[in-house]
Structure 1
Amino acid sequence: MLRNPVGLSYAVVALLAAMIAADAGLFAAALDVRLLMAGDLNDHPDPAGFAHLGVDVVAVLQVLIQLALSVVFIIWFFRVRKNAGVFAPDLHRGGPGWAIGAWFVPIANLWWPRSVAAGVWRASRRDPYGDGKGEGESLAVLNWWWVFWVLTDNGSLFATAVYDDADTVEEFAVGSGFLMGAAVLDIVAALLAILFVRRLTSMQHAKATGMIPAA
Structure 2
Amino acid sequence: MIEQKSTPVGPPPSLRPVRGAARCAVAALVLAGVVWVARALWEIRLAAAGEPASGPPDQGGGVHRPPNTLEDSYHLVTSVGGAVTAVCAIVFLLWLDRMRDNATALSGEAPRYGYGWLWVGWIVPVMNLWIPRGLVADVHRSVFPERRLPAVVNWWWGLWLAGLAGGVGIVYADDTDEIIARAYDGVLPLLGADLVIVAAAGAAALMVHRLTTAQQEHIAAKGY
Q: TM-score range by the shorter chain?
A: 0.7 to 0.9
Q: Which stretches of structure 1, 4 residues or more, deviate above 6 A after TM superposition?
A: none
1:32 aligned onto 2:45: yes
**Do the aligned partners of residues 24 and 59 (structure 1) sit closer, same or farther apart at CA in structure 2, a change above 3 Å counting?**
same
Q: How does 1:66-145 map to 2 (within 5 A)?
A: 66-90=85-109, 92-125=111-144, 128=145, 130=146, 132=147, 138-145=149-156
Residues paired across the two proteins, number: 197
- Aligned residue in 2 for 1:196: 207
Asked if 2 retains the 8 angstrom alpha-carbon contact of 1:162 and 1:175, the reply is: no
- Aligned residue in 1 for 2:62: none
Residue 60 (structure 1) aligned to one of 74, 79, 88 = 79
Find the aligned partners of 1:33 and 1:107 in 2 and give their Cα distance. 35
Asked if 1 retains the 8 angstrom alpha-carbon contact of 2:32 and 2:201, the reply is: yes
Question: Quick one: which amino acid aligns to residue 57 of structure 1?
Answer: L
Asked if 2 retains the 8 angstrom alpha-carbon contact of 1:121 and 1:200, the reply is: yes
Find the aligned partners of 1:86 and 1:157 in 2 and give their Cα distance. 34
- Aligned residue in 2 for 1:210: 221
Residue 177 (structure 2) aligned to one of 158, 164, 172 = 164
Asked if 2 retains the 8 angstrom alpha-carbon contact of 1:30 and 1:177, the reply is: no
**Do the aligned partners of residues 49 and 72 (structure 1) sit closer, same or farther apart at CA in structure 2, a change above 3 Å counting?**
same
Per the TM alignment, residue 51 of structure 1 is displaced from its structure 2 partner at its CA by 4.1
Asked if 1 retains the 8 angstrom alpha-carbon contact of 2:29 and 2:205, the reply is: yes
Question: Quick one: which amino acid aligns to residue 73 of structure 1?
Answer: F
Find the aligned partners of 2:41 and 2:180 in 1 and give their Cα distance. 21
Query: Which protein has the bigger helix share?
Result: 1
Find the aligned partners of 2:172 and 2:119 in 1 and give their Cα distance. 28
State percent identity of aligned pairs: 26
Q: Which consecutive residues of structure 1, in runs of 5 or more, have no partner in the other structure?
A: none
1:187 aligned onto 2:206: no
**Do the aligned partners of residues 95 and 189 (structure 1) sit closer, same or farther apart at CA in structure 2, a change above 3 Å counting?**
same
Per the TM alignment, residue 159 of structure 1 is displaced from its structure 2 partner at its CA by 5.6
Asked if 2 retains the 8 angstrom alpha-carbon contact of 1:23 and 1:186, the reply is: yes
- Aligned residue in 1 for 2:157: 146
1:7 aligned onto 2:26: no
Q: Which consecutive residues of structure 2, in runs of 5 or more, have no partner in the other structure?
A: 1-13, 55-64
Asked if 2 retains the 8 angstrom alpha-carbon contact of 1:81 and 1:96, the reply is: no
Q: TM-score, normalised by structure 1?
A: 0.79
Asked if 2 retains the 8 angstrom alpha-carbon contact of 1:151 and 1:185, the reply is: yes
Per the TM alignment, residue 116 of structure 1 is displaced from its structure 2 partner at its CA by 1.6
Question: Quick one: which amino acid aligns to residue 84 of structure 1?
Answer: A
Per the TM alignment, residue 167 of structure 1 is displaced from its structure 2 partner at its CA by 8.7
Asked if 2 retains the 8 angstrom alpha-carbon contact of 1:159 and 1:182, the reply is: no
Task: Indicate the SS of the match to 1:144.
Answer: helix
